Amino acid sequence: MTQKLLDGNLLSVIRSYYPSLTKSEQKVADMVLEDIESVLYCSVTDLADKAGVGETTALRFCRKLGFKGYQEFKLTLAKTLSNDSKEDDVSEHGFPHAIAKNTKAVIDESLEMVDEELLNSCIEAIDQTNRLHFYGVGTSGLTALDAKNRLLRIGKHSDALVDPHIQAMDAATLGKGDVVVGISVSGSTKDTLDSLEIAKKNGATIIAITYYARSPITQLADYVLLSGGKESPLEGGSLAAKISQLFIIDLLCTGLALHDKESSLQMKEKTARSVINKIY
């Protein structure tokens, strides 16, 4: 059934199924039909809230249409919109300017979402911990590796785990006083969430970096740092979302460096000298 949906127009399918849905499921259908573009960038929690139903109802609506879950539903929704859109309206100056404009806007959006008091609390927690780990998969995993590299240059040791199995085993070894930074644009990445849940149960402090203020990852986190750069399922791994994550990492690293400027400067010089012979 799912393949048939992928080949057709999702909105037509929803209208076809509408009479067979329960009243609460019809509320979800109404939300999708009335504001399809907004729904494309909603987390399952956001969609449920807007429709005035529970998350389980939103997920049940997706499964009744033949999808395994919400993300598969959104992927088909994105494909429907892509098929209906005009691709010749990128920018009057061409796509390079359009991409540059969008990237700059993402930084501005991320800045507006920064809560400085919350940011400082996260910096303090990271500064005090002896065990700092970053969890992320896919593109968010690359951000985790970047974070480890940035912190190493100022003398803060951390680890970046991008393999879900290693994440889970690592999470099982954590305890009170340890800090885990979970990175997920959607806030719904199952592998990352599963590992964070293990870490949380063992007493670790959880910091989430995500676009969605209301998503599964924020329900687990002790601190939530919001980044800009929303993306549809067809835009997974977009440069804009990646840059917004790196912006938040940069804020954390710079904040830590400012805590002890002299030590950070010394470590920057030491780490730079350690690789000076590796550059012509």
Burial class (CB in 10 A: 0-12, 13-18, 19+), 202: middle
Going by the DSSP 8-state scheme, the letter that residue 277 receives in this structure is G
Domains along the sequence of the chain with CATH: 2-84 (1.10.10.10), 97-278 (3.40.50.10490)
The answer, yes or no, to whether residue 237 has pLDDT greater than 70, is: no
**What average pLDDT does range 68-92 have in this prediction?**
70
Place of tokens 């048939």: 4
Mind giving me the DSSP string for 60-80?
HHHHHTT-SSHHHHHHHHHHH
20-57 pLDDT per residue, tens: 899 999 999 999 988 888 888 888 888 999 999 999 99
Q: Is 160 helix (H, G, I), strand (E, B) or coil?
A: strand
Give the integer Cα–Cα distance in Å for 95 and 102: 10
Give the integer Cα–Cα distance in Å for 82 and 252: 36
**What average pLDDT does range 162-189 have in this prediction?**
95
pTM score of the predicted model = 0.75
Burial class (CB in 10 A: 0-12, 13-18, 19+), 227: buried
**What average pLDDT does range 139-165 have in this prediction?**
95
Give the integer Cα–Cα distance in Å for 216 and 235: 21
For residue 217, the model assigns a pLDDT of 93
Mind giving me the DSSP string for 198-249?
HHHHTT-EEEEEES-SSSHHHHH-SEEEE------GGGTT-HHHHHHHHHHH
Lookup: tokens for 83: 């098929």
Question: φ and ψ at 263, to 5 degrees?
Answer: -65, -40
